[in-house]
Structure 1
């Protein structure tokens, strides 16, 4: 019988050796970097593990693809670009809003490539546009599963990571929607997976592939796609088992791959003649990097992104009227969430992403504490750094954003939460026979259960039994684990271990219940517009201010009166009509399936077209109609005329009618030389083919 590990001595067949070797020296220590493929020790998946993974991926696909057309065209802004890309190759390449290639959407085109190509292959429809998004969810689940399995050599932990991601409400929302966030997060997750693969052996190939993935994430949503970069770079520099010099060289190679995989498109926009490509929406000078650094970059942190005043200020009413301050505070379109350290836990953001956020932070700390004395190259701790730093850095950046913030942006940290929770749960499971594992598991479960209760309490009319069930189950599991963490009597060790196992499993399942229920409630709801929300349907406010806000929202999002649509369908010019802002132009395109020119881009602040350009297009008979919304203002909003008012009265404006024009130069020129020939609903129609007067 062999002596105890670390104490006994092996002797060679009947001889007294000259050198004694302890069992501890012969026995392999716990690997600091678990093997990365089956030939190196990651054993082939057992039958139940293969079946569980198949059920996870098929279940995700079924849930996300089921009745996906309930979201119709989702965000019409991006749907119009997908429709344009399904009709024209240049529109597909640049992400043009219209097949006439006048202006792009305000994001790079990777997402439009996917949806536009699907439309070319299968015909453009809601299903052909949204189904690729749902398939991306399956890919993201598979990647986070693979990353955690590689990190922990535990397929159970990988399955938990995949489940956590799939049942996160914002994931259930945005992977069935047509915003660029889905493809961006898929690519960010791919970069994290490649980084985890690179860590055990300081693999140049895998870290370069991570750079390639991030390059295309940049081409999906610019700087937001790179928010994970510091986490991946730091994890590799800290953990990779090679010299610091080699780690730095590898990091520079990955950075080079990122620049090449994203820079080719930037270079394309520079080399392609500006007069033969669409205007790059959101930029002030028709350059890609101005869009990156300005409108979609630092402007969001300086509070100068959406609706920045001037000619495109939606609150600039005709002279003699003033919008109530309370309605101003409600906001028309900037994603009005107060910035600060609690942003990730409050309001709609809390419902979309924060269910397991406290547990993920606890899990990250637990892994760091548990493996604090491990070698620098410890893979489990290194992988925890990948996901934990991703979560902390991105959450801090979102919390500091002052303008242009939408709750669904937090989709970018969903894989990080899944990875942290799974790796942390694996660590307490591995140490479940010890006080650390039991106490750590109790804290992990309790943090998720209590926060789930708090979130459900905010919507207390919906399934009130659920929050109390979650609270009771997680508290019981946590208290039980804390009791079991007390010094044990030897004869009860086996029973205590069994109880620990049951409590950990029950506690984790209860912790997932709130997020799962809210994700399940999200799936059947119809989500359209620029700021979709999660959870069950909620009643809409019905006060006068709310009615006016909805009217403005409809006008900003597009007026699709059937008579107006029929009128546009009969046109044969390059653009059937021109209208301020991209969102109403997109809605009209989708309704009439005709190109509509969006004046000024998304916020109407883009200098395209200029008045001379517009006049030339009218003279060349490239546009048939000019459309302008008409809003009846409440009499209660009338104020005395300011003595020193410098706001010019809008021409041809009847008393109490507001024309929220973005480009007032074009509006003034059209209304001075043409007469409205039709009024459909809240839209005035000017026929630009009639002789000017």
Structure 2
């Protein structure tokens, strides 16, 4: 045996403690594990479980976007423009970036609930991971973990990352942009700043001007804190601005320059113009309430004001830790007040602080369309500020001022959690008191000077985190185990007094067409019911808007009824469109895919899709290949249910709200005369009743009723457009 072998340690031998005793094998394993890596992977794994668990229970979720995914999976033109139907009649009222992700998944795995919803869940996991990486660069592992956990557990984030609205991709892109900006601030490198601009630009292609709310803060932080000269900073910001313009503008330019006669109508616009959509319905109209075609502008979406994010409608979605985020973020800026201009920690606090404050102010003061789930855009900034501020003050807890700020932030958080939980008094009634007692006791303990026993420090930190996160965590779990559907979902349990716009117990602005029941009652129009205050929302006092006669089917969350059984997507082909300014394109074909075939009966209305009976579905599928559209109906949500049930294009007259001025009566008459449309289905939502909206849909409905024979199939009234009524006018 060599000397080296004789003196080499016995790696397989027993480990001994300081007293010469054999150490338990489990402790050997503990020392071998890289706990930093393990904790990050654990955070991402638990986030994935939360976002993916029983995901298919929500079925088509937002059927409006699911129908557009079906179209994009069948037609590349529909993919490019974000068309609602494969025959390219009209687009959805948003840019198509979020649809592109789902379209690709649907082409790879078929059109079904999982292929549509899983991309958003994975976007959520990625957003949590990138936020962790961003915060960790300046503040360390613990701060990154806290930031990621807060984002993952924000109820609105759980809702959106389990849903097919555009907000999930928007959050991912903006968090990625914040990471790129953080890298740019470290070394003053132009390429990172340009990347930040590109990601914001693609955020614009996801949800238009909503992506630009972070730009003022991002630009100001770089101008103040970048480690390069002022002239170079200005040039770099101009380059970043150009990258935003190019990445956001290429698709807008393509749509604008494409001949209008050979593309779909731009849904949500009043003149078939993407620029009109950008600056009107999806732009400044959201701030002023002057949104032509909307059903609730001009103050109809609830009271505005600085405390809007804390009211009954919005509070439970994302506001749990806003007070703590503001306190901790401001304290960190104060602590770094004498640091050099380029101080990275102060720059980070300003980056996330401006994101939170500007976005929250816009949401709070906007008079146009706003929904509670929009607050998911606040979640990354809240998580980052809580993580960086909390950890920095914890490291300085030997100072009384730092301990006092931590105690105040925790006490404010648990008091606010108690208030939020009190808005749902029948849901876990013990939880609010438990959080309050534990949190206040921990806040008092935080005021004491640090002790030398490590276990006391760990226990104190653990109690603080549990107290702060218990409220949003229970809301998050409730959101994950509850199926959601419809156009305006809401996170968490029902809140008794929520009001101020549709969704989550909020409701549509007042008007004729229904009355509000009491607690646990129902809200009805001329047809159908919707649970008052349930997850899908209820109409506030005054009922549905004029022209919306109910038509909302009974059901669970979202009022969308039971999830239909799985069926088979039939194949179908499109024809060609006539000239005269009507869009053209081919429908393509679809293979076999499991999609709900629809059960029950009845039109969907403004907020929820229709649920056609099997008899009606079979009738629409018959001879479907002979027509460009198997049916036409007013409003995209009505059309979505029929389109998803049959797999064939259905014309959404008037777009999402039924208020877009397309098609005109003359164009519709021409299509009918050329046998492009088989049936007209009487809509549950009326039409032409929006704020300043077009009356074309009402004119079309009146013309059909007076010229064609009617029949009722599975409880739904429809007109065969190939069979004029015997007594119809010539």
TM-score tier (shorter): 0.7 to 0.9
Which residue number in structure 1 is paired with residue 551 of structure 2? 552
* 2:492 pairs with 1:535: yes
Matched, 1:517 2:474: yes
Query: Is 1:391 matched up with 2:356?
Result: yes
Question: In the alignment, which residue of structure 1 is the partner of 2:266?
Answer: 280
SS at match of 1:552: strand
SS in 2 for 1:348: coil
SS of residue in 1 equivalent to 2:452: helix
Do structure 1's residue 566 and structure 2's residue 618 form an aligned pair?
Answer: yes
Q: What does residue 16 of structure 1 align with?
A: none
Residue by residue, what CA displacement relative to the aligned partner does 1:340-386 show, whole Å, maximum 9, x if unpaired? 11110112311111111111111111111111111111101101111
SS of residue in 1 equivalent to 2:419:
helix
State yes or no: 1:664 paired with 2:714: no
Paired position in structure 2 for 1:506: 463
Return the match for 2:344 from 368, 379, 398: 379
CA deviation after TM superposition for structure 1 residue 541, in Å: 3.5
Residue in structure 1 matched with residue 670 of structure 2 by the alignment? 616
Match in the other structure for 1:453: 418
Q: Provide the rounded CA distance (Å) in 2 between the counterparts of 1:333 and 1:461.
A: 34
Secondary structure of 2:675 counterpart: coil
Cα offset, 1:282, TM superposition: 0.7
Shift of 1:500: 5.3
Contact 1:432 1:500 in 2 (8 A): no
Quote the residue 1:251 is aligned against.
237
> CA–CA distance in 2 between the matches of 1:94 and 1:565?
27
Cα distance in structure 2, aligned partners of 1:629 and 1:250: 53
State yes or no: 1:301 paired with 2:287. Answer: yes
| Distance in 2 between residues matched to 1:673 and 1:216, nearest whole Å | 47
Structure (1 or 2) with the larger CA radius of gyration: 1
Moved more, 542-551 or 71-80: 542-551
Matches within 5 A, 1:455-470: 455-470=420-435
The aligned residue for residue 402 of structure 2 is 437
8 A contact 1:335–1:406 mirrored in 2: no
* Shift of residue 667, structure 1, vs aligned partner: 1.7
The within-5 A match list for 1:220-235 is 220-235=206-221
User: Does the 8 Å CA contact 2:93/2:656 hold for their aligned counterparts?
Assistant: yes
Counterpart Cα distance in 1 of 2:698 and 2:685: 16
Q: Which whole-Å CA distance do the structure 2 matches of 1:591 and 1:334 have between them?
A: 36
Query: How far apart, CA to CA, are the structure 2 residues paired with 1:661 and 1:687?
Result: 23
Runs of 4+ in 1 over 4 A off after TM superposition: 331-335, 496-501, 537-540, 543-549
- In the alignment, the residues of structure 2 paired with residue 130 and residue 453 of structure 1 have an alpha-carbon distance, to the nearest angstrom, of 33
Helix, strand or coil: the match of 2:682? strand
Tell me how far 1:483 sits from its aligned partner: 3.7
Would you say the 8 A contact 1:81–1:97 is kept in 2? yes
Preserved CA contact (<8 Å) 1:335 1:405: no
Residue number in structure 1 paired with 2:97: 110
Instruction: Tell me the residue number matched to 1:204.
Output: 190
Q: Does 1:604 align with 2:569?
A: no
Structure 2 portions without partners, runs of 5+: 1-31, 497-518, 531-549, 553-603, 689-693
Q: Does residue 341 of structure 1 match 2:306?
A: yes
Q: Which residue of structure 1 lines up, in the alignment, with residue 115 of structure 2?
A: 128
Matching residue of 2:333: 368
Out of 227, 240, 247, the residue aligned to residue 261 of structure 1 is 247
Query: Deviations 1:89-128 (Å, cap 9, x if unpaired)?
Result: 1111111100001001000000110001100001110001
Distance of aligned partners of 1:428 and 1:360 in 2 relative to their CA distance in 1, 3 Å threshold: same
| Cα distance, 1:392–1:333 mapped onto 2, change above 3 Å | closer
Number of aligned residue pairs: give it.
592
CA distance in 1, matches of 2:318, 2:110: 34
Q: How many Å apart are 1:332 and its aligned residue?
A: 12
Deviation per residue, 1:67-104 (Å, 9 max, x gap)? 10011100001110011111111111111100001001
The TM-score, its normalising length taken from structure 1, stands at: 0.82
Q: Distance in 2 between matches of 1:209 and 1:463?
A: 45
The alpha-carbon distance between structure 1 residues 667 and 545, as it changes in their structure 2 partners (threshold 3 A), is: closer
Shift of the alpha carbon at 1:691?
3.8
Flag the 1:513–1:222 CA change in 2: closer, same or farther, 3 A. Answer: same
Mean CA deviation greater in 210-219 or 457-466: 457-466
Instruction: Indicate the larger mover: 88-97 or 45-54.
Output: 45-54
Please point out which of 317, 320, 339 is paired with 1:355. Answer: 320
Cα distance in 1 for residues equivalent to 2:695 and 2:313: 31
Distance in 1, Cα, partners of 2:300 & 2:58: 20
Tell me if the contact between 1:428 and 1:436 (Cα under 8 Å) persists in the aligned partners: no
Which residue among 148, 155, 176 is the counterpart of 1:190?
Answer: 176
SS for the counterpart of 1:684 is strand
Distance 1:543 1:184, change over 3 A: closer
Matched with 1:644 is: none
C-alpha contact 1:387 1:419 (8 A) present in aligned 2: yes
1:560 Cα deviation (Å)?
2.5
**Higher relative helix content:** 1
> Does 2:133 align with 1:81?
no
For residues 190 and 305 of structure 1, what CA distance do their matches in structure 2 show? 31
SS at match of 2:220: helix
* Contact 2:182–2:348 (8 Å) recurs in 1: yes
- Indicate the SS of the match to 1:464: coil
Instruction: Return the alpha-carbon distance in structure 2 between the equivalents of residues 114 and 544 of structure 1.
Output: 37
Residue 676 (str. 1) matches residue 710 (str. 2): yes
How far, CA to CA, are the matches of 2:360 and 2:287 in structure 1?
A: 14
Contact 1:363–1:425 (CA<8 Å) still a contact in 2? yes
TM-score norm. by structure 2 comes to 0.78
Contact 1:438–1:500 (Cα < 8 Å) also in 2:
no
Answer yes or no: is 1:588 the counterpart of 2:574: no
3-state SS of the aligned residue for 1:280?
coil
Kindly state the Cα deviation for residue 501 of structure 1 after the two structures are TM-superposed: 5.4
Q: Is the 8 A contact 1:432 1:497 kept in 2?
A: no
Asked if the contact 1:306/1:334 (under 8 Å) is kept, the reply is: no
* Distance change >3 Å, CA 136–CA 336, structure 1 → 2: same
Of residues 426-435 and 398-407 in structure 1, the stretch that sits farther from structure 2 once superposed is 426-435
State whether residues 634 and 683 of structure 2, in contact with CA within 8 Å, keep that contact through their aligned partners in structure 1: no
Q: Structure 1 stretch 607-616 or stretch 131-140: which is displaced more?
A: 607-616
How many angstroms apart in 1 are the aligned matches of 2:184 and 2:132? 16
Change (3 A) 1:257 1:478: same
**Alpha carbons of 1:630 and 1:75: their partners in 2 closer, same or farther (altered >3 Å)?**
closer
Q: Aligned with 1:690: secondary structure? A: strand
Distance between the aligned counterparts of 2:126 and 2:240, measured in 1?
Answer: 23
Cα 1:259–1:239 change in 2 (3 A) is same
Q: What is the alpha-carbon distance in structure 1 between the residues aligned to residue 609 and residue 72 of structure 2?
A: 20
- Once the two structures are superposed, residues 231-265 of structure 1 have per-residue CA deviations (whole angstroms, 9 ceiling, x without a partner) of 11111111111111111111111111111111110
